[in-house]
Each structure stands twice: as C-alpha cells, then as structure tokens.
Structure 1
Amino acid sequence: MIPVTTFAGRSVALFGLGGSGLATALSLKAGGATVIACDDNPDSMARAAAQGIHTADLREADWSTFAALVLAPGVPLTHPVPHWTVERAKAAGLEIIGDIELFCRERETSAPDAPFVAITGTNGKSTTTALIAHILGQAGRDVQMGGNIGTAILSLEPPSAARVHVIELSSFQIDLTPSLKPSVGVLLNITPDHLDRHGAMENYAGIKERLIRGSDLAVIGIDDGFSRAIAERREGASLRIHVGTGAGPAGGLVVRDTGIFDDAGTQVADISGIGSLRGAHNGQNAAVAVAVSRALGVADAAIQAGLRSFPGLPHRMEEVGRRGRVLFVNDSKATNADSTEKALTAFRDIHWILGGKAKEGGIFPLVPFFDRIAHAYLIGAASDAFAATLQGAVPFTRCETLDVATRAAAEGAAAAGAPEPVVLLSPACASYDQFRSFEDRGNQFRELVRALP
C-alpha cells in the first residue's frame, strides 16, 4: 500500500467504493486523512465499513468541511451529466481528483525522481503496459504494474528511485489527474471511444494529450491523425513510433515486416514468430516497449529476451489451444470493430465467431477484411444485423450461443483445406447480452476449446 500523506489532518469526501475506491480510502486513512466514503451500492458501503472506513450518505454531509472530493474513475465527471457529488463539490469550491492524482502528489512529495511510466491510448494499453513491465522485470528491475490494467495504483509499493511504476491510464483516470507528470508518457493511438463520457472526439483526444504534455519523455504512435497532431505539438523530448514502410520517423522507431528499426535503418529488435505479438498493432506495442525500455537503460539484448518470453494477456489474441492443424484464438477483449480489425489482419483462413451487444457502426468497417474469413459463426443479439452485413460476402451460420459456435467452427476449420485454419473468437461486440463480462466470455471459450475432442 502507498499511504497518502498529502491530506494528513484534513477531511476528504470519497465517492465510489469499488476496487480502486476502497484501496484509495484505505491509503488516505493510512496517511492520516479523515475519509467520509459513499457509494450508491449498499454492499460496497458495507464492505468498506467492515474494513474500518467511515461511510455515510454524502447528500447529508457538510461539504464546507472537506478539502477535496476523490472520485472513482467510473463516475461521470462531465458527460452525459455530472454526478451529483461533482455538483456538490463544485458548489463548495473543492478540487475533484482521483487515485492517480493522489499517487502523483505522493511521488512528488516523497520520491520525485522515482521512474514512472504512464501508458494511454484507445487500443493496446494493457498489452503494452504488461509488455513493458515484463521486459523490465526480466532485466532485473523492481517493477510495480497497475492502474487501469487491474491493480489499483495505491495498492502497489511506494515510489522510490530504485523502483519503476508502469501504469495504464484510461481517459477517465487522466481526467481526474491534473498534476500528471510521468517520467515517460506513452500515447499509442486515438480512435473514437467513450464519447458518451467525453461529449466529442476533440474532448477525448484533448484528455489523452494531457498525459503527453506533462511527460519528461513522450513516446507517441503517429499512425492516426489525432496522435500525429499531438506529436507535432509536443515540445521537448519525444520518440515517434510508426508502423509501415519506408524510413522511420526522425528520432523514432518504425515497425517493418517482422522487425523494429531505428531512423538509420538499423534493426533494434526482431518480433518474428512471437505468437503473443502477432499483427501490426502488436508491432506498435512492441516498438513502444522497446523505446521505453531503452529510455530506462535496458540493453537491447535484454529487451529482445523479454520480447521473446512475453506470454501475452488473456483475452487479447490469446492462443488457447490447437487441434491438429487448427489454431484457437481467444480475442474476447475485442468489443468493437476497431479492435477486431487488429485480429483479422493478423490471420488468414479465419473461422470467425462474432456477435453480442453491437456497438455503433456494427461490423461494416470490417468489410475490407472479409476476404480473410472462411466462415462466420454468429452469436447473441447482433446476429440479424451482422448477417445483413455478411450476406453475399462471407458464408455464415447462425449459432446463437458460444458453445454451439465453438463446436461448429472447430468442425468447419478441421474440414478446411488450409494449412493452418484459425478459429477466432473476436466478437466486435460488448458481452452483456449473454455474459457477465468479456473476461467471462473469453474464459468460457477457453474451456469449450479444452473440452473439444
């Protein structure tokens, strides 16, 4: 745990008692603050009270006694409408911050030179965060990994000059972190997402840019317009990452074929044959990890060893099994067309399992990749809409449920003449029509594959 001492002796209102909220309340209390915590869920309130946190209905509180409102990142700050606690805090003239801001203030107070790597972007954040942490750990560094990737930042060990914090940040978290100043800030890419929470693409991109503006060193993917514009506005040290052909960007790295090259054309890393880093998007993730690791003083040989030994993350193009020639890949994290595009470009002869609760635009953006698909297997609420898009372009079977689709796809792939057909679960949909989460969906797929003959 990181005790938060910057509010010692003061009273703080806290709303949102999920995993990160509870960790924040405990850290504030350990640092000497008086915490009054609240949540809309009575069970969350009860869990917090059982751990010694003072809980109360903040509607009845005297907000003039608080020094700040600490808000969980999932609670609306601006759109579609501010949460009622936000309105109360503004009326009282209070700052509204999150747990990442508390970490930044504690680092600035206790260990301002402590290495802090912050990663954001629409896609690839978790893989890149895990890959950087893996490379540093394999090289013998003391690494703490957390944030949006799963472990609350204040549950980690405290910052120190000998310890590297590698932290994934969502736009929600950045929005609550006004003093964000990482040693190395990473922006992977920006595509439309969370517009219901930010109101417009310009707002969303502007929040992502905050991370870059505050970084000592910025590592920026330049393959989309918003990120490229941010790179051009960046003042001070920056490294640019490009996936494609031609020379690399000045002072940056380019991913070409299966290698990563510097701007002089020298190969600095080989990613060929690494199953956990398939596809151009993972080429970008790997190049960013190489750039960050080099900036932190890791030797190229150690970086290469870390890339080779990276196991990947569950539900992100995760190889879950083979049956003869057939490869089974769990990409359940692909909850929109943009994410699924990454998987479709990484394989051919695809037996594609897709469907669920559709996002805006459906799978129409994936039409250019339909020639890679041997057969599609439809599940869930989006079946009718997706069938209409596939009609006449890709043969498909309506399967309704994942178990039926997995068996049908396995049989279809085994009967195909391709040298390595792929059964790919990459739904391009949210999971909530049939599953608790994308993790639940991916776990069920993994078990279904293991149960195949």
Structure 2
Amino acid sequence: MIPVKGFDGKHVAVFGLARTGLTAARALLAGGAKVALWDENAEARSRAAAQGLPVVDLSKADFAQFDALMVSPGVPFTHPTPHWTVRKAQTAGVEILGDIELFARTVNAVDPWKRPKIAAVTGTNGKSTTTALLGHILKSAGKDAHVGGNIGAGVLGLEDMHGGAVYVLELSSYQLDLTSSLKADAAILLNISPDHLDRHGGMDGYVAAKRRVFLNQGKGDTAIVGVDDAWGQNICTELLARNGRTIVPISAGRSMGRGLYALQGVLYDAIGERVTEVADLSRAPGLPGRHNWQNAAAAYAAALALGVSPQDAADALMSFPGLAHRMEDVGTVGRVRFVNDSKATNADAARQAMSAIPKFYWIAGGRPKAGGIDSLRDLFGRVEKAYLIGEAAQEFGRTLAGAAPVEQCGDLLRAVDAAFHDAAAKGRDAVVLLSPACASFDQFPDFEVRGDAFRSLVHGLATTPRQAAS
C-alpha cells in the first residue's frame, strides 16, 4: 500500500466503495487522514463496515467539515450532470479529486531521491495491453516495475514507493478528468475515437480529458503519441510546437521520418539518425494483429525512455504472453477455437479482433455505445453468423440484416452453445469470437467477469462436448 501524504489530520469524504474507493480509503487512513465512506449500494456499504471502515451517510452530512471529496472514476463529474456528492462539494468549496491525484500528490511530496519513475498510458483502445506489455518489458529488463491504475490493482494498493521503482499506470479518461498534479516521465496517448461522449459532454471534452496525460511534463520527459487518427495527429503537432520534452510519434501503418512505426508487422525505430529494424511482430505470439503493432511501438518507446536497452526491449516484445480478455485463446473443442475478446467494449476495439481473423462466428452485444456497430459494416463479410446478447441485440440485428445470418440468443450461455453447435457442424477448422463491441453492465459487473464467464463456458464444452449434429 502507498500511504497518502498531504492529508494528515484532514477529513476526507470517499464516495464509491468498489476497488478504487476502498483502496484509497485505506491509503488515506494509513497516511493519517480521517475518512467518511459512502456508497449508494447497501451491499458495498456493508462490505466496508465489515472491514472496520467508517461508513457515514454523505447525503445527510455537512460537507463544510470535509477538506476533500475523493470519488471513484465511475462517478459523473461534469456530464451528463454532476453527481449529487460533486454538487454538495462544489457548494461547500470542497476540493474534488480521484485516487490518481492522491498518488500524484504523494509522489510530489517525497524527497526527489525517493521518487519513482512514472509511465502513464491512455487511449481509447489498447491501453491495457500496452500497460501490461510495458510492465513486462521493464520487469524482463530487471526494473522494479509495478503495474496498476485502471488495470489490476488500484494505484494506491501497489507496493509503497521508493527510489528506483517504476509505476506503469493505465489511465482512463474518467481518471484523467480528476487528475491535475501527475507528472509522467513517459506519457503515452495511443489513439482517440469517439467513446464515453455522454460522460464528457461530447468529443471535445473527451479529447481534452485524454490529452491531460501530458500535463506537467517538461524537459527530460517523453510524450509518445499515436498519429494514426486525426486527433492524435493534432495533439502531436501541438506538442511539437511547444517543445520542452521529447516527442515520439508512433504509427501502425505508415513510415515516418522520425518516430516508431510498423509496416506489415515489422517494427522500425526512426528516433535516431538512422532507421533500424526492431522486431518482426508477426512472430510475437502475444501481439497478434495490426492494433498490437501500435501497442508494441508505444511500449518500446516508453521502455527506452525509462532506461531499457533497445535489445532488451525488443527481446521482451517477443516473450510477452498477451493479456487476458484481449484476443485471448481460451481453448479448442474439436476443430472449433474460442477467442475471448471481452475487453472490446466499443466498435473500434472489436474491429481490431475482427480484422485479425478472416472468418468467425461472432458473439456480440451488451450495453451499446453511441453509433453501435455501423462502423464495422466493412467487416460483416467475415461473419459466418452472429449470436446477439444483451440490450444491444435487437439493434445489432437490424444493423446486420442482409449482411450476415443472425441468431437472437439473449445471454452468453445460449450464444456459446449455439455458436459451438453451428461451428462444429461445418466439420472444418472454425473460430468462435466473443468481441462484444459493447459495455458489459447490462448482464455482468465488468468485462473481466464477462470474459471469465465465456472461458468457463468453453471449458465446460471441452469437458462435456455435445455432438455437432445434435
């Protein structure tokens, strides 16, 4: 745990008692703060109370007594409307922050020789894989690396900081909205496409949140920017105009005069005076598909900025095992292979897996994002048949009408069973792909639980396979 500095003796309200809130509350207490915890979910409150944490009904509390309000990332800050705790804090003049800001202030409060290095990773898609990959490279090179944030452990639940450590943090736009003091030695913006627009009041707000990953950087720091979309290109141009830090553009599809880029799977380093070949990523088992070329370029660039040698970084790219729930091969039953891409919570993320597999039986649906799957029409020819689940099922069915066969399954159990039956009946090698292009919250707490459920269902098929023609 990282005890929070700067709040000793102060009174902090904590709203949202899932992983982030509970971890932050314990870290605040360890740093000498007084905390008052609340959640609208009675079960969450009971769990906190059972752990001996002070639960206080914030809806009845006088916010003038608090020095700060710590909210979990899922709590609306500005849009669609500010959460009632946010409004109460604003009325009382109470500062509002998140756990990443608590971490940043703790880093800034320690002596310079004790401060760790920080790598911050964001982007609409690929940030979890890039974060895990960078952590893998650093650990493979003998660095004392700790991975967390929006992936794995909450940042304040990581091992306490010390000189020589490196914290690799995945940051969502929600977290960045609540962060103002973080200074990343290496900051990565992979890509931007429309997502969470209701939460940020539109595309301008979403882009503004993402670009906050570069806040407070200066001389000696490195900004790594994906330039395969217009938003990334613009941000990279603006950063280059300001100078003051090292700028490394990255691309997964075109050569550049300076930066890192991949062409047909081969990663090239054009940061220095001459272009060198880094690695043939098509031979890296944990990095399938073009989208992973961009992830690899970003992680490689950040690793170099953090002191890893080019050879060590290249070797670690090839040994990366991959990330759970992201094009994860979870098993083969007969001649049917099952791929878990549950982390594809929007159409752009689903595109990455769909583009990497020539033909597949597609399980999709959940709670839809703006635009649905309209942007994937060019890939519908790859779909042998679609098995639709969740709130998006009817909408997705209308979009797919005439382009691919569709079966309305409702839930994941029926979808897996139907897809396996149809794929096995073909009597040839086939792929069943769970790449929902949707959030999970209509039927599952998060994409990880959805992916775990898919894996369990596949393992159930493997132990009691049904006859293909039954």
Q: Which TM-score tier does this pair reach, normalised by the shorter chain?
A: over 0.9
> What corresponds to 1:173 in structure 2?
175
- Counterpart of 1:351 in 2: which secondary structure? strand
Task: Determine if contact 2:180/2:215 at 8 Å carries over to the other structure.
Answer: no
CA distance in 2, matches of 1:92, 1:139: 49
The Cα shift of 1:357 comes to: 3.3
Using the TM superposition, name which of 351-360 and 293-302 deviates more.
351-360
TM-score calculated relative to the size of structure 2? 0.89
> What corresponds to 2:449 in structure 1?
440
Cα 1:50/1:210, change in 2 over 3 Å: same
> What corresponds to 1:35 in structure 2?
35
Task: Determine if contact 2:191/2:232 at 8 Å carries over to the other structure.
Answer: yes
Provide Cα deviations, 1:351-391, integer angstroms capped at 9, x if missing partner. 22223333332222111112322333333443333233223
2:256 is aligned, of 243, 248, 259, to 248
Task: Determine if contact 2:285/2:318 at 8 Å carries over to the other structure.
Answer: no
> What corresponds to 1:284 in structure 2?
294
The Cα shift of 1:342 comes to: 0.8
Cα 1:65/1:320, change in 2 over 3 Å: same
- Counterpart of 2:283 in 1: which secondary structure? coil
2:145 is aligned, of 143, 146, 150, to 143
Provide Cα deviations, 1:416-452, integer angstroms capped at 9, x if missing partner. 587x532211122233444444333322222232224
Using the TM superposition, name which of 437-446 and 409-418 deviates more.
409-418
User: Aligned-residue CA RMSD in angstroms?
Assistant: 2.1
Partner amino acid for 1:227?
Answer: G
The Cα shift of 1:205 comes to: 0.6
1:311 is aligned, of 321, 330, 343, to 321
The Cα shift of 1:229 comes to: 0.9
The Cα shift of 1:270 comes to: 2.3
2:238 is aligned, of 233, 241, 245, to 233
Partner amino acid for 2:338?
Answer: F
1:330 is aligned, of 340, 350, 360, to 340
CA distance in 2, matches of 1:99, 1:316: 26
> What corresponds to 1:75 in structure 2?
75
Cα 1:124/1:27, change in 2 over 3 Å: same
Using the TM superposition, name which of 168-177 and 296-305 deviates more.
296-305
CA distance in 2, matches of 1:433, 1:21: 22
Cα 1:226/1:54, change in 2 over 3 Å: same
Provide Cα deviations, 1:328-358, integer angstroms capped at 9, x if missing partner. 2111222221111111111102222223333
Partner amino acid for 1:233?
Answer: E
Task: Determine if contact 1:348/1:422 at 8 Å carries over to the other structure.
Answer: no
Partner amino acid for 2:266?
Answer: G
Return 5+ residue gaps in structure 1 as ranges.
Answer: none
CA distance in 2, matches of 1:432, 1:94: 31
Structure 2 residue 263 is the aligned partner of structure 1 residue 260: no
CA distance in 2, matches of 1:444, 1:331: 12
Partner amino acid for 1:222?
Answer: V
2:399 is aligned, of 386, 389, 404, to 389
> What corresponds to 1:117 in structure 2?
119
Partner amino acid for 2:347?
Answer: A
CA distance in 2, matches of 1:106, 1:308: 35
Cα 1:359/1:65, change in 2 over 3 Å: closer
Partner amino acid for 1:217?
Answer: T
- Counterpart of 1:275 in 2: which secondary structure? coil
The Cα shift of 1:228 comes to: 1.4
The Cα shift of 1:242 comes to: 0.8
CA distance in 1, matches of 2:399, 2:25: 48
Give aligned pairs, total. 450
Task: Determine if contact 2:226/2:251 at 8 Å carries over to the other structure.
Answer: yes
Cα 1:181/1:422, change in 2 over 3 Å: same
2:384 is aligned, of 365, 369, 374, to 374
Cα 1:351/1:30, change in 2 over 3 Å: same
- Counterpart of 2:282 in 1: which secondary structure? coil
Using the TM superposition, name which of 386-395 and 155-164 deviates more.
386-395
> What corresponds to 2:225 in structure 1?
220
Task: Determine if contact 1:111/1:161 at 8 Å carries over to the other structure.
Answer: no
Provide Cα deviations, 1:179-212, integer angstroms capped at 9, x if missing partner. 1211111111111111121111101111111111
The Cα shift of 1:415 comes to: 5.1
Task: Determine if contact 2:346/2:369 at 8 Å carries over to the other structure.
Answer: yes
Partner amino acid for 1:195?
Answer: L
Task: Determine if contact 2:195/2:370 at 8 Å carries over to the other structure.
Answer: no
CA distance in 2, matches of 1:424, 1:290: 29
Task: Determine if contact 1:75/1:83 at 8 Å carries over to the other structure.
Answer: yes
The Cα shift of 1:302 comes to: 2.1
Cα 1:62/1:384, change in 2 over 3 Å: closer
Task: Report matched runs for 1:42-61 at 5 Å.
Answer: 42-61=42-61
Provide Cα deviations, 1:222-279, integer angstroms capped at 9, x if missing partner. 111112111111133111111113x2252x1011111110224421122113332111
> What corresponds to 1:295 in structure 2?
305
> What corresponds to 1:427 in structure 2?
436
CA distance in 1, matches of 2:59, 2:387: 50
- Counterpart of 2:453 in 1: which secondary structure? helix
CA distance in 2, matches of 1:266, 1:81: 50
> What corresponds to 1:6 in structure 2?
6
Task: Determine if contact 2:195/2:369 at 8 Å carries over to the other structure.
Answer: no
> What corresponds to 2:468 in structure 1?
none
Task: Determine if contact 2:335/2:427 at 8 Å carries over to the other structure.
Answer: no
> What corresponds to 2:416 in structure 1?
406
CA distance in 2, matches of 1:398, 1:66: 51
Task: Determine if contact 2:183/2:216 at 8 Å carries over to the other structure.
Answer: yes
CA distance in 2, matches of 1:88, 1:361: 34
Task: Determine if contact 1:373/1:394 at 8 Å carries over to the other structure.
Answer: yes
> What corresponds to 2:196 in structure 1?
194
